[in-house]
Amino acid sequence: MLKGMTSQRLLALFAAGVVLFNFPLLMLWDHEVQVWGIPLFPLGLFVVWAALIAALAWVMETREG
């Protein structure tokens, strides 16, 4: 089941997601700073979230050759 590229990419992406949404990487965003008027913490979470979706879409929509 884990032979295909897609499977391996998905597992790697999952690991990245878990790490990005937990201690200690979560601390990176927890500062009293604003970007474009938006506090960094919620903004950071949404940006990471959007990036994960984009990466997932890329993995799923590119077929293995």
Partner 1 sequence: MVAPALVVGVTLAYLLILFAVAYFGDKRAEAGRSVIASPWVYALSMAVYCTAWTYFGSVGRAANAGVWFLPIYLGPMLAMILAWLVVRKMIRIAKTYRITSIADFVASRYGKSPLLAGLVTLITVVGIVPYMALQLKAIASGYAVLTLPLGQSMATPADWWADGVLYMALALAGFTIVFGTRHLDSSERHEGMVAAIAFESVVKLLAFLLVGAFVTYGMFGGMGDIFSQALAQDNLKHLLAFDQGQPFAYSQWFTLTLLAMLSVVFLPRQFQVMVVENVDERHLRRAVWVFPLYLLLINIFVLPIALGGLLYFGVDTVDPETFVLSLPLAQGYNWLALVAFVGGVSAATGMVVVEAIAVSTMVCNDLVMPLLLRTRRFGERSGGDLTGLLLGIRRTAIVLILLLGYVYFHLAGNTYALVSIGLISFAAVAQFAPAVLGGMYWKGGTRNGALAGLLAGFVLWTYTLMLPSLAKSGWVSANFLEYGPLGIAWLKPEAFLGLEGMDNLSHALFWSLFANISAYVWVSLWQRPAAREASQALLFVDVFQRTSVAHPVFWQGQAKVTDLLHLTGRFLGEAKTERLFADYAQQVGVYDIGQIPADAKLVHFVETQLTGAIGSASARVMVASVVEEEALELDDVMRILEEASELRVALEKLKSLDHLKDDFMSSVTHELRTPLTSIRALTEMMQDDPEMELEQRQQFLGIVVAETERLSRLVNQVLDMAKIEAGHAEWHNSDVDMREIVQQAVNSVAGTCRERGIALQTELPPQLAPLRADADRLVQVVLNLLSNAIKFVPEGSGKIDVRVRDSAAGVTVEVQDNGIGIAPDKHAQVFEKFRQVENAAGSQQGTGLGLPISRQIVEHFGGRMWLASQAGRGACFSFFLPR
Cα pseudo-dihedral 12, 59, 57, 26, rounded to 10: 20
If the CB atoms of residues 61 and 65 are measured against partner 1, the closer one turns out to be: 61
**# binding residues, partner 1 (CB under 8 A):** 34
Does residue 32 belong to the site contacting partner 1 (CB under 8 A)? Answer: yes
The type of residue at 19 is V
Does residue 65 belong to the site contacting partner 1 (CB under 8 A)? Answer: no
Among the listed residues 56, 44, 51, the one whose alpha carbon sits nearest the alpha carbon of residue 14: 56
What residues make contact with partner 1 under the rule CB under 8 A?
A: 1, 6-7, 10-11, 13-14, 17-18, 21-23, 26-27, 29-30, 32, 34, 36-39, 41-42, 45-46, 49-50, 52-53, 56-57, 60-61
